[in-house]
Amino acid sequence: MLKSWLEHPLTRGLSIDDPQVTDLRQRILQEKRFLRDIYTEWYQAIIAALPPCPGAVLELGSGAGFLRQFLPNVITSEIFVCCGIDAVLDAQQLPLADNSLAAIVMTDVLHHMGQPRRFLHEAGRCLRPGGRVVMIEPWVSRWSTLMYTALHHEPFRPQSATWEFPTSGPLSGANGAMPWMIFVRDRSQFLHAFPDWHIVTIQPMLPFRYLLSGGVSMRSLMPSATSGLWRRLEAAMHPWIDHWAMFALIVLEYSV
């Protein structure tokens, strides 16, 4: 009942795999200043982590986002046709030439890939030496495990034995814990399987603000005017962020 009450009225009752939901989320993101401020911070962090090497930047899962406002030349893409994208493509089988990209960026996308190994191989093929994958993803902490399990519509299974999962749909198939599983729990396995990838940084963050904003699928739980107050509280909690983070900035660099 709580999940039903929290659902955003614009998308209530619609399948998350329906492209119409992604288009409606563009409107939600524009109207929620609290949430828009979070995405602005995310985009600034992503841009700051881009490599100096020349080449195109591809955004995966552009969906409802607005990265192009900060990075005008970015190539936007999605798994299905929706408003304002340049290409429809599958990140696990990229229709791009070898060594054609400087970076691949994404927000809340990796944990929807049922075959992440395929993506990592494809990203390595398409990136130039020194190219990067820069992403914002859900993260595993004591707090996030409680919140994602209780309130979120996507599966969150940090105990899963494998990175892969069966795909029920382009967005409904997911394991929100998967980025943490790959880059922390199974880090040695990742580095052994992908020796050309280097983990540049993992920065856990955002214990409360995304949750309080309601994200793109729920009602706001706090007025936008309180955003600054919550930002200061999160900054003060930095020494304990590993126990509270709900997201992380992850930067990978490809070298051959």
Domain boundaries, the chain: 2-254
Cβ neighbour number for residue 185 with a 10 Å cutoff: 17
**Structure confidence by residue, pLDDT tens digits, 116-125:** 999 999 999 9
Find, among 142, 131, 1, 4, the residue nearest to 55 by Cα: 131
**Rounded to two decimals, what is the model's pTM?**
0.95
For residue 173, which phi and psi values (nearest 5 degrees)? -75, 125
Find, among 213, 203, 205, the residue nearest to 246 by Cα: 205
Residue 5 confidence (pLDDT): 64
Residue 78 confidence (pLDDT): 95
Cβ neighbour number for residue 214 with a 10 Å cutoff: 19
Report d(CA 20, CA 205) in Å as an integer. Answer: 30
Report d(CA 169, CA 215) in Å as an integer. Answer: 20
**Structure confidence by residue, pLDDT tens digits, 116-166:** 999 999 999 999 999 999 999 999 999 999 999 988 878 999 999 999 998
Residue 208 confidence (pLDDT): 97
Contact call for residues 96 and 79 (beta carbons, < 8 A)? no
Q: Residue written as tokens 């607005």?
A: 66
Positions in the chain short of pLDDT 50? none
Report d(CA 233, CA 164) in Å as an integer. Answer: 36
Q: What is the 3-state secondary structure (H, E, C) of 89-135?
A: CCCCCCCCCCCCEEEEEEECCHHHCCCHHHHHHHHHHHEEEEEEEEE
Which superfamily does CATH assign the domain made up of 2-254 to? Vaccinia Virus protein VP39 (3.40.50.150)
